[in-house]
Structure 1
Amino acid sequence: MRGLKVRNLRKLIKDSSTYGVPVEDGRIGGDPFLTGPFARGTKLSVYFDQGDNAVEETLRRKIDPATTSVIMFPGQGTQHVGMCGDTSSMPRPVQVLYEIASSILNYDLLDLCANGPLEKLNKTVYSQPAILVSSLAALERLRDTDPDAIERCVVTSGFSIGEITALVFAGVMSFEDAIRVVKVRAEAMQLASEIVPSGMSTVLYGADSKLNYSLVVAKEWCRREYKMEEPVCSIANYLFPHCKVVAGHTEALDFLDANYKDFNLRRVKRLPVAGAFHTDLMKPAADPMRAVLDSITINRPRMPVYSNVTANRYRSSGELKKVLVKQIYKPVKWEQVIQNLYQRPKESEYPMTFECGPGASLAAVLKNVNSKAHLKCKKIQP
């Protein structure tokens, strides 16, 4: 079975490299919407008509933070039946999103988001594109209800798969290319998760807890009891103080479930996911992701986009390609992203924050990292 999964990954690598023509490395530049679904002149494209030096201008200008906005996009785990909103009153631009995505994915994405079944929607290969498109549908709702929020947006980011949504919003890649990237990313991560049994757990802990030590002991347990040569048990998501997501081999997570009190951990809760995302167990998915990124055009962002891996903004196309591949098997530094986004003098005002997409996970995390910024946070559903 392991050999079959590896062969499937090799085939995916070969298929991933045929999506487009590689572009030269260098500064991010170009126009993302000439061949995308949001052609210039349509109401969605108006978000991005700010000129080639938008990022530098945004960083140079002295702007009252209270007049600006931050837009964030959620990640995997927020999917649910009905996540697309009311299909009977769905605006035409949102219908187009689902139609284009469905043509690339070769299944009816809108029907899956609207009607399920949940068991299918929860699978990585379906949940990732569903979250991407539903988050952009929420962005369109924000445009309808508060267009100034989009015009005032000075920075964007997203959690895990939400980072690709943020890159579409910022114009770094076209919508069609993003769907192709997510299709490959989801399929590769699904295959990687099936090579060995693995998973993820949310861990709550206190100042007296020994989280890092518990991970070391869990790996040593796997070496001794299961003869594993390279057991994996590491932090996959930095959420907020005293809350992390740990991921790795199932045996290591079982050890933590049974012994967490010995390390003064407050709570350990297994997550309903297919594998140990954002750990070394996802490294087999890196080559397919690298191949598909090399096949698409990377453009200059219309605003700063913050990376999950570095917690800092992207600066070049070469950096983006390398880091976006690493994002699959490196931890999501979301707590650090939030700290960097909202770092300011004590008396400064905070921007409005909008979480666009299904669920309300990022708003909850923001409340635990920066309660003042959370006071000006709004959740936008599709």
Structure 2
Amino acid sequence: MTNARLAFVFPGQGSQQIGMLAEAAAEFPEIRSTFSEASDVLGYDLWELCQRGEQADINLTERTQPLLLTSSVALYRAWCARGGARPALMAGHSLGEWSALVCSGTLAFVDAVRLVRERGRLMQEAVPAGEGAMAAVIGLDDAAVEKACSEAAEDEVVAAVNYNSPGQVVIAGSKAAVDRAIENCKAAGAKRAMPLPVSAPFHTELMRPAAEKLAPQIEQAEFHVPEIPVIHNVHARRELDPVAIKALMVEQIYSPVRWTACVQEMSRDGIDQLVECGPGKVLAGLAKRIDRSLSCHNIETPAQLNEAALATAG
């Protein structure tokens, strides 16, 4: 049964940890079966990698992306198998938007695994290691961050790329330009402006070559009308036309993630309960900063999933 007040949100890169979902896998058979499906596509044992591999290995973008997609889809399948309420809306942060598309019925899981593996590889290849950078800026409004980037750019690229919550924006671009923008943000009164341990400048114009290379593969994939609407990162609105969704997923690679606007749009649609479907609780924390009235749940462990299912039963 659909809960008209419930939305599911899916995390992006940064939530991966060695040993994640071990507790859920011990109780929910959907976890291991979903990982097995992904492993067949990838040609390596994804579960073994995330349980007994090295953190550095799962931090490689072309491995991180299928790993987080698989984790989110596995947890959503476990949720559905246990009679959890059907959400009225979905959204995902960056890579998490692909998880939302799978769980909304827009795209087959195995097709998404292939596409995000390639997405990760192309995004990492677009800018040589060490030439790009990202940084988190805390305590400045969006306009001030955008001004700091504009003044720092000179003949290089630096821009606001993740509008995560009021007063929390991530910037990205060429390393030297990002360094200049960090100093500008500090001078403008930012509480903190600090580099992130990421070498590729995601969601900037520097990612356009990756988007152009992935576009034909997205075009060839079979997309359907979503069974559950997805709020998209690019414009913070829903889209039901599969052709338009394909275009958005290409554009998303080099466009800012408007996460604050996505959460606000869900709130305007009557959503007051959020379930973060994936490892970690980053999005739940951001949601509370965006709209304190939201009730947020995580479902990474069996106890969390059972508690959230009861709380959102309608």
Counterpart CA distance in 2 for 1:286 and 1:295 is: 14
Unmatched 5+ stretches in structure 2: 302-314
Counterpart CA distance in 1 for 2:106 and 2:59 is: 27
Equivalent of residue 85 in structure 2, options 149, 152, 161 = 149
What pairs up with 1:276-315 in 2 under 5 angstroms? 276-315=201-240
In the alignment, is the contact (CA less than 8 A) between 1:184 and 1:292 conserved in 2?
A: no
Counterpart residue number, 1:186: 120
What pairs up with 1:318-329 in 2 under 5 angstroms? 318-329=243-254
TM-score by length of 2: 0.89
2:291 corresponds to 1:357? no
Percent identity for Structure 1 against Structure 2: 33
In the alignment, is the contact (CA less than 8 A) between 2:142 and 2:167 conserved in 1?
A: no
Letter in 2 for 1:160: S
Deviations along 1:178-199, whole A, 9 cap, x unmatched? 1111111111111113277101
Counterpart CA distance in 2 for 1:270 and 1:141 is: 36
In the alignment, is the contact (CA less than 8 A) between 2:129 and 2:200 conserved in 1?
A: no
2:187 corresponds to 1:262? yes
Deviations along 1:188-228, whole A, 9 cap, x unmatched? 111113277101111013469832221122112xx4xxxxx
Counterpart residue number, 2:132: 198
Counterpart residue number, 1:17: none
Counterpart CA distance in 1 for 2:18 and 2:119 is: 22
TM-score by length of 1: 0.74
Counterpart CA distance in 2 for 1:305 and 1:361 is: 19
Query: Alpha-carbon deviation of 1:310?
Result: 1.1
Deviations along 1:259-286, whole A, 9 cap, x unmatched? 5332222211211123110000111111
Letter in 2 for 1:198: G
Counterpart CA distance in 1 for 2:38 and 2:142 is: 48
Unmatched 5+ stretches in structure 1: 1-46, 48-57, 59-63, 224-230
Letter in 2 for 1:78: S
Equivalent of residue 111 in structure 1, options 44, 48, 66 = 48
The alignment partner of 1:156 has SS state of strand
Q: Which moved more, 1:161-170 or 1:292-301?
A: 292-301
Counterpart CA distance in 1 for 2:164 and 2:142 is: 19
The alignment partner of 1:86 has SS state of helix
Counterpart CA distance in 2 for 1:157 and 1:264 is: 32
Query: Alpha-carbon deviation of 1:113?
Result: 1.2
Gap change, CA 1:184 and 1:90, over 3 Å in 2: farther
Letter in 2 for 1:369: I
Counterpart residue number, 1:379: 298
Counterpart residue number, 1:81: 18
Gap change, CA 1:257 and 1:206, over 3 Å in 2: closer
Gap change, CA 1:262 and 1:88, over 3 Å in 2: closer
Gap change, CA 1:239 and 1:207, over 3 Å in 2: closer
Deviations along 1:354-374, whole A, 9 cap, x unmatched? 10101111101101110001x
In the alignment, is the contact (CA less than 8 A) between 2:137 and 2:190 conserved in 1?
A: yes
Query: Alpha-carbon deviation of 1:241?
Result: 1.1
Q: What root-mean-square deviation, in Å, do the aligned CA atoms of Structure 1 and Structure 2 show?
A: 2.2
Using CA pairs below 8 Å that are at least 6 residues apart, which structure has the higher relative contact order? 1
2:106 corresponds to 1:172? yes
Counterpart CA distance in 1 for 2:13 and 2:141 is: 29
Count of matched residue pairs: 301
Query: Alpha-carbon deviation of 1:319?
Result: 0.7
Counterpart CA distance in 1 for 2:114 and 2:141 is: 43
Query: Alpha-carbon deviation of 1:112?
Result: 1.2
